[in-house]
Amino acid sequence: MRNVEFIVESLELKIVNVLAHLDALKAENQRLKLESAAQKEKAEAQRAALDKKEADLEALRIASSMLGSNDDKRASKLKINSLIRDINDCLASLSD
Protein backbone atom coordinates (compact mmCIF):
# COMPACT_ATOMS: atom_id res chain seq x y z
CA MET A 1 0.00 0.00 0.00
CA ARG A 2 2.87 2.29 0.78
CA ASN A 3 4.21 1.77 -2.71
CA VAL A 4 0.90 2.88 -4.28
CA GLU A 5 0.85 6.03 -2.12
CA PHE A 6 4.39 6.81 -3.22
CA ILE A 7 3.44 6.40 -6.89
CA VAL A 8 0.33 8.59 -6.48
CA GLU A 9 2.33 11.32 -4.73
CA SER A 10 5.00 11.12 -7.41
CA LEU A 11 2.37 11.44 -10.14
CA GLU A 12 0.73 14.38 -8.35
CA LEU A 13 4.08 16.13 -8.11
CA LYS A 14 4.79 15.53 -11.79
CA ILE A 15 1.34 16.82 -12.75
CA VAL A 16 1.88 19.96 -10.68
CA ASN A 17 5.26 20.49 -12.35
CA VAL A 18 3.78 19.96 -15.83
CA LEU A 19 0.94 22.40 -15.11
CA ALA A 20 3.40 24.98 -13.80
CA HIS A 21 5.51 24.52 -16.93
CA LEU A 22 2.37 24.86 -19.07
CA ASP A 23 1.46 28.13 -17.35
CA ALA A 24 4.99 29.44 -17.90
CA LEU A 25 4.85 28.50 -21.58
CA LYS A 26 1.46 30.18 -21.99
CA ALA A 27 2.81 33.36 -20.41
CA GLU A 28 5.88 33.29 -22.65
CA ASN A 29 3.68 32.66 -25.69
CA GLN A 30 1.54 35.68 -24.82
CA ARG A 31 4.65 37.83 -24.34
CA LEU A 32 6.03 36.71 -27.69
CA LYS A 33 2.73 37.48 -29.43
CA LEU A 34 2.77 40.99 -28.00
CA GLU A 35 6.40 41.45 -29.01
CA SER A 36 5.62 40.18 -32.51
CA ALA A 37 2.72 42.61 -32.87
CA ALA A 38 4.94 45.48 -31.71
CA GLN A 39 7.63 44.49 -34.21
CA LYS A 40 5.06 44.31 -37.02
CA GLU A 41 3.83 47.81 -36.16
CA LYS A 42 7.39 49.08 -36.08
CA ALA A 43 8.18 47.47 -39.44
CA GLU A 44 5.03 48.95 -40.98
CA ALA A 45 5.93 52.41 -39.68
CA GLN A 46 9.44 52.05 -41.08
CA ARG A 47 8.04 50.92 -44.44
CA ALA A 48 5.74 53.94 -44.55
CA ALA A 49 8.63 56.26 -43.66
CA LEU A 50 10.79 54.65 -46.35
CA ASP A 51 8.04 55.07 -48.95
CA LYS A 52 7.72 58.74 -48.02
CA LYS A 53 11.48 59.24 -48.24
CA GLU A 54 11.56 57.57 -51.67
CA ALA A 55 8.75 59.82 -52.90
CA ASP A 56 10.56 62.87 -51.53
CA LEU A 57 13.78 61.75 -53.21
CA GLU A 58 12.03 61.32 -56.55
CA ALA A 59 10.47 64.77 -56.23
CA LEU A 60 13.87 66.26 -55.44
CA ARG A 61 15.43 64.49 -58.41
CA ILE A 62 12.77 65.88 -60.72
CA ALA A 63 13.16 69.38 -59.26
CA SER A 64 16.92 69.12 -59.50
CA SER A 65 16.76 67.98 -63.09
CA MET A 66 14.51 70.91 -63.98
CA LEU A 67 17.07 73.29 -62.55
CA GLY A 68 20.05 71.40 -63.94
CA SER A 69 21.72 71.07 -67.32
CA ASN A 70 20.09 70.54 -70.70
CA ASP A 71 20.61 66.78 -70.42
CA ASP A 72 18.69 66.79 -67.14
CA LYS A 73 15.95 68.91 -68.69
CA ARG A 74 15.71 66.47 -71.56
CA ALA A 75 15.43 63.56 -69.12
CA SER A 76 12.68 65.41 -67.27
CA LYS A 77 10.79 66.09 -70.48
CA LEU A 78 11.06 62.43 -71.43
CA LYS A 79 9.81 61.40 -68.00
CA ILE A 80 6.88 63.84 -68.20
CA ASN A 81 6.02 62.61 -71.69
CA SER A 82 6.15 59.03 -70.44
CA LEU A 83 3.82 59.89 -67.57
CA ILE A 84 1.42 61.64 -69.96
CA ARG A 85 1.39 58.55 -72.20
CA ASP A 86 0.66 56.36 -69.16
CA ILE A 87 -2.21 58.65 -68.18
CA ASN A 88 -3.56 58.57 -71.73
CA ASP A 89 -3.37 54.76 -71.74
CA CYS A 90 -5.26 54.64 -68.45
CA LEU A 91 -7.93 57.00 -69.77
CA ALA A 92 -8.25 54.95 -72.95
CA SER A 93 -8.66 51.72 -70.99
CA LEU A 94 -11.27 53.35 -68.75
CA SER A 95 -13.28 54.57 -71.72
CA ASP A 96 -13.38 51.07 -73.27
Q: Cα(72)–Cα(8) distance, rounded to whole angstroms? A: 86
33-77 residue pLDDT tens: 999 999 999 999 999 999 999 999 988 887 776 676 666 677 778
Q: What is the pLDDT of residue 71?
A: 67
pLDDT greater at residue 79 or residue 26: 26
What's the predicted TM-score (pTM) here? Answer: 0.51
Contact 80, 62 (CB under 8 A): no
| Residue-averaged pLDDT of the chain | 89
What CA–CA distances, in Å, run from 22 to 17, 32, 39?
A: 9, 15, 25
